[in-house]
Amino acid sequence: MNTNEVKSLVKSLEAAKEKAALRDFEVTITETLKMTVTVAAKDQHEAEQIVSDNWRNSEYILDADNFIGVEFEAKRPERELSLSGKKRGIQQYE
């Protein structure tokens, strides 16, 4: 084996080691849009019902102008969790 082949092999092994240290994650992105509207109603329940009906009828369209925040939540895939638990003899409780 010549020097270039050895360097190539070492580089491949280092890349494999680095990849082995990485794990997959499922990341959920939740964007929040918010709009406040005023309606006339006899009580809070009716006001919410009127706005809900109007929203379902596309009378209120929320878009980027109504953006108020974003959240990111990462977790390991369920399949990976159960496999890793079995490999290590760990019981998973939900």
Cβ partners under 8 Å of residue 50, min gap 6: 39, 41
Residue 67 falls inside a structural domain: yes
Q: Is residue 44 part of a domain?
A: yes
pLDDT score of 83: 58
Residue 18 maps to a domain: no
Indicate whether 4 belongs to any domain: no
Q: Please check whether residue 79 lies inside any domain of the structure.
A: yes
Report the domain count for the chain: 1
Q: Which of 71, 60, 63, 70 is nearest to 36 (CA)?
A: 60
Residue 7 lies in a domain: no
pTM over 0.75: no
Give me the domain span that covers residue 38. 23-88
Q: List the pLDDT tens digit at each of the 94 positions of the chain.
A: 788 887 888 888 888 777 777 889 999 999 999 999 999 999 999 999 999 999 999 999 999 999 999 999 999 988 755 655 555 545 444 4
Establish if 73 belongs to a structural domain: yes
